[in-house]
Structure 1
Amino acid sequence: MKDFLAAEDRALLERHGLGTFDALWARQLDAVGEPNTVLGGWSSVFRLDLEGHGFHLKRQSNYQMRTLYAPFGEPSFSREFRNISLYEKLGIPALKVAFFGGRKVGSEARAILLTRALDGWDDLDSLLQRWPDLSEAQQVAILQACGSLAGRLHEMRRVHGCFYPKHIFLRATGDGYQAQLIDLEKTRPLMLGLRDRIKDLEPLLRRAHEWSEAQVRVLLGAYLDQGQDSSLIDNWLTRLTARRSRKEKG
């Protein structure tokens, strides 16, 4: 497995002796939360700060998953790295990788994924918690950013698979908000047209209880690139509301 080291992060990591797999594996850091042991091995996340730049250093051992790409199993970080790389190629805003690599040490399969921390960004979950305190202009800009992000995602024929507020990160800019995605493990090709789009988008609206119907129309307007009086928005709102109702009834 060939290591990946992003050109823009190489000098910084090498100045601190962290430009290799072995160095990143050996670096002593405090874990962010408890390790994940669902797949039989373990996977942990650590915070790494270098010269004012933040990173999330993720290490795992024997944390294997079977996919069509690797039917006999591979580190889950391998899939995540491929998906992040694909999103970058397609121009879908998402988190950035600084380093990726894997090693076999005896019977142990190790993997590292180093991503840039989203310092200065807020996840949509936290913005929803203070939604009433935001100005109307801020609310509209956030809705438009989320709609445009979903539009780009589906335009590139991908579904996220977990399009939830906690996986959408936003940052205020001079004239609005930028939005990007994290957690790309479940992303897949968009194959079923409208059905896939509705299925991908609806979970966001089901979790964003703070949004009125008028605000959802703002999001859909950005998603569909339509004016607020568009009958296409009416159509989508009807379909999304129907799916939401079915899901909430169980």
Structure 2
Amino acid sequence: MKDFLAPDLRALFARHHLTDFLALWALDLPGVDAPNTGRGGWSSVSRLELADEHGHIHAFYLKRQIDHLSRSLRRPFGEATFAREFRNILRYAEDGVPALQAAFFGQRRIGGKACAILVTRALDDYRPLDAWLRDWPTLTRGERRHLLGATAALVKQLHAAGHLHNCLYPKHIFVRSASAPGAAPAACLIDLEKTRRPLRRAPLLRDLDTLNRHGKGPSAADRLRFLLRYLDLPALDGPSRALVRQLLGRRRHKTHA
């Protein structure tokens, strides 16, 4: 796979001499958190800020990894997890599902090790849903309805496009304030490494179950509003009541497991 650099960012990256893999790899930047050393490899995330010719700052997240591999039947010897995530970013964009945007992707073998870089545009106008949920008791009714509606619309769009996120925790959903200016999507997804296209619709319940169990704060009435917005229904009907029973059953089972 050739290196990818978003066409609208070529001039900006060229201005800072960062259009190739090795230049980005060599950047000395602090990590935003401790490196991930799972899977027998190493992976880190740093914030990258670049000024354009007008002095405007463009923010990105630079992710670098070494031998951080995932394996599958198609790729039994493994591939960089960033390669899988990059492909999924492109698929989401093609299908019109709001998600993080890739600025650069590339991979090399350095010293016999599989190295990869993924640069994504920062989502500075958004907050992760888990942060919103921590503030839930202090939010206005309008703010709560905006968050529920934006999240439900995003998950509905995700599943309508045939994707299973497969790791749909609140921290992986980013939502903009209802009062934020601009025409950007109200909500978008991150962490697309595990996403896939299920052959049947039934596995999509996994996303709803994960979000329901880990979304602390909203009341039962709030959760019903979310589900009705997701299903695009004015009130529960037979199939939707069955879905509610399934979600409640999974929640009880996993709570007591």
Pairing 1:160–2:173 present = no
Counterpart amino acid of residue 181 in structure 1 = L
State the match for 2:49 in structure 1.
49
Aligned pair partner of 2:244 in 230, 237, 243: 237
Distance in structure 2 (CA, Å) of the matches to 1:138 and 1:63 = 39
**Cα distance change on mapping 1:242 and 1:67 into 2, 3 Å:** same
Whether the 8 Å CA contact 1:218–1:228 is kept in 2: the answer is no
Structure 1 residues 42-74: Cα deviation after superposition (integer angstroms, max 9, x where no partner): 111111011221111011112222123422111
Counterpart Cα distance in 2 of 1:191 and 1:243? 21
Question: Match for residue 10 of structure 2?
Answer: 10
**Distance between the aligned counterparts of 2:149 and 2:143, measured in 1?**
10
Check 1:69–1:11 CA distance in 2 against 1; reply closer, same or farther (3 A cut). farther
Listed as ranges, the gaps of 5+ residues in structure 1 are none
Residues in 2 aligned to 1:172 and 1:226: alpha-carbon distance in whole angstroms:
25
| Structure 1 counterpart of 2:77 | 72
Deviation at 1:147, TM superposition (A): 0.9
**Identity of aligned pairs, percent?**
45
Would the alpha carbon gap of residues 137 and 173 (structure 1) be closer, same or farther in structure 2, given more than 3 Å must change?
closer
Runs in 1 of length 4+ with deviation above 6 angstroms?
none
The separation in 2 between residues aligned to 1:111 and 1:171, in whole angstroms, is 30
Q: Pairwise CA RMSD of aligned residues?
A: 1.8
Q: Deviations over 1:49-103 (max 9, x none)?
A: 1122111101111222212342211111111111111111111111000000011
Rounded to whole Å, the distance in 1 between the matches of 2:180 and 2:230 is: 18
Partners of 1:174 and 1:47 in 2: CA distance: 26
Question: What amino acid is aligned across from residue 29 of structure 1 in structure 2?
Answer: L
What count of residue pairs does the alignment treat as equivalent? Answer: 249
Instruction: Provide closer, same or farther for how the CA distance between residues 54 and 69 of structure 1 changes in structure 2, counting only shifts above 3 A.
Output: farther
Describe the shift of the 1:73–1:212 C-alpha distance in structure 2 as closer, same or farther (beyond 3 A).
Answer: same
Alignment check: 8 A CA contact 1:160 1:187 kept = yes
Structure 2 regions of 5+ residues with no counterpart?
A: 52-56
- Residue aligning to 2:54: none
Identify the residue that residue 249 of structure 1 maps to in structure 2.
256
TM-score w.r.t. the length of structure 2 is 0.91
Residue 182 of structure 1 and its aligned partner are, at CA, apart by 0.6
Q: How does 1:93-172 map to 2 (within 5 A)?
A: 93-172=98-177
229 and 66 in structure 1: CA distance in 2 versus 1, 3 angstrom threshold: closer
Note if contact 1:154-1:190 (Cα within 8 Å) is conserved in structure 2: no
Return the alpha-carbon distance in structure 2 between the equivalents of residues 50 and 245 of structure 1: 48
Q: Structure 2: how far apart are the matches of 1:206 and 1:243?
A: 9
Deviation at 1:233, TM superposition (A): 3.6
